[in-house]
A and B are shown apart, each in its own frame.
Chain A
Amino acid sequence: MSLLGDWWPYLILILAGFLPNEVWRMLGIVASRGIDEESELIIWVRAVATAILTGVVSKIVVFAPGALATVPLAVRLAAAAAGMAAFFVMRRSVFAGVMTGMLAVLTGMWARGG
């Protein structure tokens, strides 16, 4: 790893992790003062934010970090599909979706002897 020294990783945590994420929350405080939640600007921001969010999680599924990389891509995609199916069948239950997706990954790993 390129993170050397005692304080350097913590500085990076603040500069590359905390601040770029936190700035949106603080801007949210400012924006929540008197802004119409259905204003065109907020609708656009929400569309941009939604595309980025599903882009982030789609990349996690496709390019699998850490231990998830040991799960074949086909299993990951099938598990995501199973989770979404369970979510819709169980009347939009997030819990049903995540549990089904997780069990599908486990089942997929078990089926190939992992």
Chain B
Amino acid sequence: MSLPLSTAASARPPKPNAAAFADGLRAAAGSVFMIVLVGSYISIGALAHDLGFPVVWVVLSTILIWAAPAQVILITSLAAGTAPLEAGIAVGLSGMRLLPMVVALLPVLRAAKTRAGALILPAHFTAVSMWIESLRLAPALPRENRIAFANGLAAGLVSGAVASTIAGYYLAGVLPNALVAAMLFLTPMSFLTSAVRSAQLLSDKAAYLIGIVMAPLLAYEQVGLDLLWTGLVGGTAAYGLHRLREALR
């Protein structure tokens, strides 16, 4: 992905952090990802309602997990009677992508004097929406303001997601089924497209295609821990292709 990772310091002087936070909130309100989040979380709220989860539980899942695929996995697997341990493993596997995302984001947000504790919130709120928008917008800001901006951005996006979760939960019986289905489609569609944008190396691109084919096949063949094998075997094979091409150069 062509991310502006430049570390060049902006010439602008830093603002008070409250103002930078407010800028982040405004950026969230105007982000195209807000539209995707609203639709996705309406559908997740409706899904949780239909499967019998309490509304507080779903709202907490949005704030604490803050990752739509993980929430869909957790809600559907628990409702299907999957053992919590197995559900937790599937959630953990789906969350693995967050590690390289956090590793890419924090050096952009961090200033010389940043305390480690100040990185916990931006790391917690790292998700595709917040990550793409932070990497797009933060490099233009003075370093001293970037964490406050990212926290404001995240607060805005999470607030929109929470409001949508609640709306979806209570509108579950009213919304036409086709509309809920279409909104449930936002999560896979937004991840399929944004993952293309962040696939830079051959290993990323190969892993992208291998994952799409391998996981449903393994699940169809009822191989246990299909996601784990998809990641370890498929991802390592994709990495091997990258190494092979480097070696042949």
Contacts and interface: CB of A to CB of B under 8 A. Distances in A.
Contact of A60 (B126, B183, B188): B188
Interface in A10-54: 10, 12-29, 31-32, 35, 37, 42-54
Most B CB within 10 A of own CB, among A16, A62, A79: A16
Nearest to B189: A101
A13 B57 CA distance: 8
B47 to A, nearest CB: 4
B192 A97 contact: yes
Interface of B: 32-33, 35-36, 39, 43, 46-47, 50-54, 57, 60-61, 64-65, 67, 69-76, 78-79, 81, 84-85, 87-89, 91-104, 106-107, 116, 119-120, 123-124, 126, 132, 177-197, 199, 201, 203-204, 206-216, 219-220, 226-227, 230-232, 234-236, 238-239, 242
Contacts of B43: 66-67
Nearest to B81: A2
Nearest to A86: B193
Given A2-B78, A60-B188, A98-B193, 17 more contacts: A13-B60, A16-B78, A16-B84, A17-B71, A17-B87, A28-B100, A31-B99, A55-B211, A57-B188, A58-B212, A67-B47, A70-B181, A79-B185, A97-B193, A105-B185, A109-B181, A110-B178
Most B CB within 10 A of own CB, among A28, A95, A98, A105: A98
B180 to A, nearest CB: 4
Contact of A55 (B72, B75, B214): B214
Q: Which secondary structure dominates where chain A touches chain B?
A: helix
Interface string A71-97: 100001001100110010000101101
B84 to A, nearest CB: 4
Contacts of B72: 60, 65
Contact of A66 (B50, B73, B132, B232): B50
